[in-house]
Structure 1
Amino acid sequence: MKSLYAQFRKVFGDSGEIRSFFSPGRVNLIGEHTDYNGGHVFPCSLSIGTYAVARKREDSIIRFYSMNFEEKGVMTVNADKLVYEAEHDWANYPKGVVSIVKQSGYDVSGFDVLYYGNIPNGAGLSSSASIELATAVLLNELNDIHLEMVEMVKMSQRAENEFVGVNCGIMDQFAIGMGKEAAAVLLDCNTLQYSYSPVVLKNAALVIANTNKRRGLADSKYNERRSECERALSQLQEHLQIESLGDLTVEAFEANKHYITNSIDQKRAKHAVYENVRTIEAAKRLNAGEIDVFGQLMNESHVSLRDDYEVTGLELDALVEAAWAEEGVIGSRMTGAGFGGCTITIVENQFLHSFQTNVAKTYKEKTGLTPEFYVVEIGAGAREINQLSEAL
C-alpha cells in the first residue's frame, strides 16, 4: 500500500483525502458454461485482485492511471461525456461503470484514481469484473450513494454488456462483489438466489495453473456453444414445459434427448444438464466436508467439458492430465471459457512442491509451454480496505 500511495501522489499530487479499495479476482470451482443455460455456478473470490487508490474531485473530471499499463499514462475524461473509445483500452471498464451509475440517476463527482492489479493477465480470473467492482465500490463510497452490493454487481455487468459490448453473464461480477472469506457461493444464474458453502480444505490448497496459451478461440467458440444450446433447448421446448436446460434433471434429459435431432447439439445440451446437477451435488458434498468426492466431481466436470462441450483443447487437457497423474491431487479441471486460460486443482499441502515441479515438466514436454502456478486463498469480496493512516 505504501508504494501505491507514493505512486498516486507522484502522478496526481498531494492534496486531499486519499482512500483505498480492493476487489478480488475469482475462480469457478465447478459449474462451467452453465450460467447462460439457466444453471448453477460455484465460484469463489480470491486473495489476489485489483487495488484502487482514489481521491474525490470537486469538478466532473476523472483521471485514470494504471500501474499495470504505465506506458498509457493518465487518461482524462469528463464524467458527463462518457463514450467507449478504443484507445482508452482497459479504462473503458471503469468508464462504463461510471456511465451506468450516472444513467441510474445517481450524482457522481469527478475523481483521480490509480489502479494496480496482481491478477495474471489473460489467465481468465476475471480482471475486467474485478476493476468494475473496484470502481463501483469507490463511486459508492466517495459519493455516499448507499447502494447495496447486489445493485453494484448488476451495474457492473451492465457496464460490460452495454458500454464495453461484451455479452458476459453475471457470475464474475457476483462472485467478486458477494465473495466471502473461506467460502464459495452457489449461485442460481436465473434467479440470483445464492448460498455460501465453507471451503475447508484441511491439509490441502487451491492451486491455479495458467496454461500461458492466449485464448484466441474462446469468444467465437463461446458464441457457437451458446447457439448450439439454444437450438437444443428450442427442440426440447416443443415437447417439455421448460425455460432453460438448467430446469432438467439427468433422468428427464435422457428420456427426451432424442428430440434434439443434431448429435452435436445433443452433446452440448448433455453437458449443460449434467454439469448443473454436478454443481449442486458438489456444493452439498463440500458442505458435508467430503473433499474427496468434491474432487471426483471436478474431474468429471473436466471430462464433460472435454468430450461433450469440446472447449478444452491440447493445453488444458495436458495440464489437467498431468495433475491427475500426481500424488496428492484431490481433483483438477479447467476453469473459465476454455481454449486456454487456467486450471484449478486441489492439492495436498505436502505435495505442493512436487506437484508444481512435475506438472510443469510434463506439460512443457507435451506443449512446449511453461505454466505458471498460483497457490491462492479464498478472500472476501469487493470493499474499501483502509484509510491512508491505517495503510501506513
Structure 2
Amino acid sequence: MANIETLKIQFIEHYGGHASDIEVFHAPGRVNLIGEHTDYNGGYVFPAALTFGTTLLIRGRRDRSLGLASTNFQLSKLHDMDSVSYDPADEWMNYPKGIVHELLGQGIAFSQGYDLLFHGEIPNGAGLSSSASIEVVTAYALLSMEGLPLDKTKIALLSQKSENEFNGVKCGIMDQFAVAHGLRDHALLLMCDTLKVEMVPFQTGSYQLIIANTNKRRGLADSKYNERRAECERAVEELRAAHPDLELLGELSAGQFHSIHHLIQDETVRRRAQHVVEENERVLQSVEALTAGDLERFGELMNASHQSLRDLYEVTGQELDALVDAARQLPGVAGSRMTGAGFGGCTVSLVHEDNVALFMEEVGRRYTEATGLKADFYVCSIGNGVERLEP
C-alpha cells in the first residue's frame, strides 16, 4: 500500500494548506478467480479484493469547487461541485465526476466542496478494476465526509450506474461489488442477479496467486465488450420461444440450455450463450473444489474457463493466450486463465510456492519471445474492501 505521509506531502504541494484535516481512504483492485462475462448475464462470479488498489486523500474546501488530481496523471482540474458533466478531455477524472453526478441525482446536497488526490497502484487497462476502485473509494469518501450512511451495496450499485450511464460502459455489478465488499483471505461467491453473496475462505496452502499483466492496454468502452453483451441479449430473445419468462442467460442450467440451444439461429451467438451457461456452472464447481481442498480440480476449472473464453466467447487474443500457454507448460502450475473483460489485461495463475521464481522468469521470457512485449507479475494476497485508513 502507498506511503500515506508521502501522499500527504504531495497533497499539500498541490492544494496548499495543512495536513491535519486530510482524511484517507482506500479501495482495492479485484481479481476474478473464475466466472468471466457471467455478471451482466445474471450468473455467478467468484472475485476477490486485492491488497493493492486506489488510495484517496480528501479535504473539505471553503467554496463549491471539486478539485481532482492524481499522482498517476498530470491532468488535474477544478470543477463546479454542483454541476458536473462528461467531457472526454477530462479522461480519468470522469470516473470521480460520475460519482458526484450520481450522488447529486439522488438528491444529496453537498455541504461544501472538496479537494481529492488519487494514488493508484492498479495498472490502467489491466482488467483489475481500476475504474471501479476509483468510483467506490470516491463514493465512500464523499458520503463519509458528509456524515451520510455507508451502505456498501448501495455504493456498489451507484458506482455501477455511474460507469454505465455517465461513462458509457455497460459493465456488470461484479467489479464494484467486490471492491466494496471484499474481505481479507476470502473470495466472494456472488449471484449477480440477486446480489446474494457468500464469503468463501480462500485457502490455497502452499500455492500462491500470481497475476501477470500483458501490458497490452485495452479499454472496455472501445473493445468488443458491449458487442458481447448485445449478443447475449439476442440469445435470450430467441430462447424465449421455449422459456417466455427468461430474462438472463444465468437463469438456465447447462442441461436446460443444451436442450433448446438450437433456437438460437446464429452460430456465433449460440457459442456466446454456451460459454455463459457453462461458465456459470464452473463457478459453482470451483467453490466445491476449494471447499474440499481440491486445488487440482480448481486448476482444471480455471483452464477450462480460459479455453471457453478463447474458443466460444473469443475475448482472449494473442497476448493472453501466450501467457496462459507458457504458464501451463511449467511445473507447479495448477491452473491459469485470463481474468477481466479480456482483449488484453491480465491472467491469474495458481502456482506452487516452490515454483514462483521459475514461473515469473520463464513465463516472462516465453511471453516476450511470442509477443515482443514485457509482462509484469504480481504475487497477490487477498485483502479488504473499501475502508477509511485515517484518521
Same fold (TM over 0.5): yes
Distance in 2 separating the partners of 1:366 and 1:187: 36
Write out aligned runs for 1:1-392 (5 A): 1-15=4-18, 17-69=21-73, 71-72=74-75, 74-108=76-110, 109-215=112-218, 219-241=222-244, 242-387=246-391
* Residues 9-44 of structure 1 deviation map (CA, whole Å, 9 limit, x = unaligned): 111123351110001011111001111222111111
Per-residue CA distance 1:186-221 (angstroms, 9 max, x = gap): 111111111111111111111110111222698442
TM-score between both structures, scaled by the size of structure 1: 0.95
Between the aligned partners of 1:77 and 1:54, the Cα distance in structure 2 is 15
Higher mean alpha-carbon deviation, 8-17 vs 273-282, is at 8-17
How far apart in 2 are the matches of 1:6 and 1:218? 35
Matching residue's letter, 1:159: S
* Distance (whole Å) between structure 1 residues aligned to residue 221 and residue 66 of structure 2: 33
Q: Helix, strand or coil: the match of 1:338? A: coil
* Equivalent residue letter for 2:258: E
Contact 1:218 1:338 in 2 (8 A): no
Residue ranges of structure 1 left out of the alignment (5+ in a row)? 388-392
Q: How far off is 1:86 after superposition?
A: 2.0
Decide whether the 8 Å contact of 2:125 with 2:219 is kept in 1. no
> Offset at 1:240?
2.1
User: SS at 1:344's partner residue?
Assistant: strand
Q: Percent same amino acid at aligned positions?
A: 48
- TM-score of the superposed pair, with normalisation by structure 2: 0.95
SS at match of 1:316: helix
TM-superposed CA distance for 1:236, in Å, is 1.3
Distance in structure 1 (CA, Å) of the matches to 2:381 and 2:354: 17
CA–CA separation in structure 2 for the residues paired with 1:288 and 1:111: 49
CA contact (8 A) 1:218 1:339 kept: no
**Contact map agreement 1:106 1:145 (CA 8 A) in 2:** no
Please tell me the residue identity of whatever aligns with 1:79: M
Matches of 2:367 and 2:88 in 1, distance apart?
36
Deviation by residue 1:69-119 (Cα, 9 ceiling, x = unmatched): 1x22x3101111211122221111111111211221222221111110111
Amino acid at match of 1:335: T
Q: State the SS of the aligned residue for 1:119.
A: coil
Amino acid at match of 1:236: L
1:124 Cα shift?
Answer: 1.1
**Conserved? CA contact 2:144–2:150, under 8 Å:** no
CA shift for structure 1 position 3 = 0.5
Alignment-mate amino acid for residue 299 of structure 2: G
The letter for the 2-side match of 1:65 is: A
Distance in 2 (alpha carbons) for counterparts of 1:381 and 1:53: 17
Structure 1 window deviating more from structure 2 (169-178 vs 249-258): it is 249-258
Report the count of equivalent residues. Answer: 385
SS at match of 2:224: helix
Offset from partner CA, 1:237-296 (integer Å, 9 cap, x none): 111243221111111112211222222221111101100011122122222322221111
| CA distance, structure 1, for counterparts of residue 161 and residue 264 of structure 2 | 33
Q: CA shift at 1:234, angstroms? A: 1.5
Distance 1:188 1:219, change over 3 A: farther
**Aligned to 1:21, what secondary structure does the other structure show?**
strand
Q: Deviations over 1:153-209 (max 9, x none)?
A: 111111112222222211111110011111111111111111111111111111110
Mapped partners of 1:171, 1:56: distance in 2: 31
In 1, distance between residues paired with 2:168 and 2:231? 22
SS of 2:108's partner is coil
Is the contact made by 1:47 and 1:376 (CA closer than 8 Å) also made in structure 2? yes
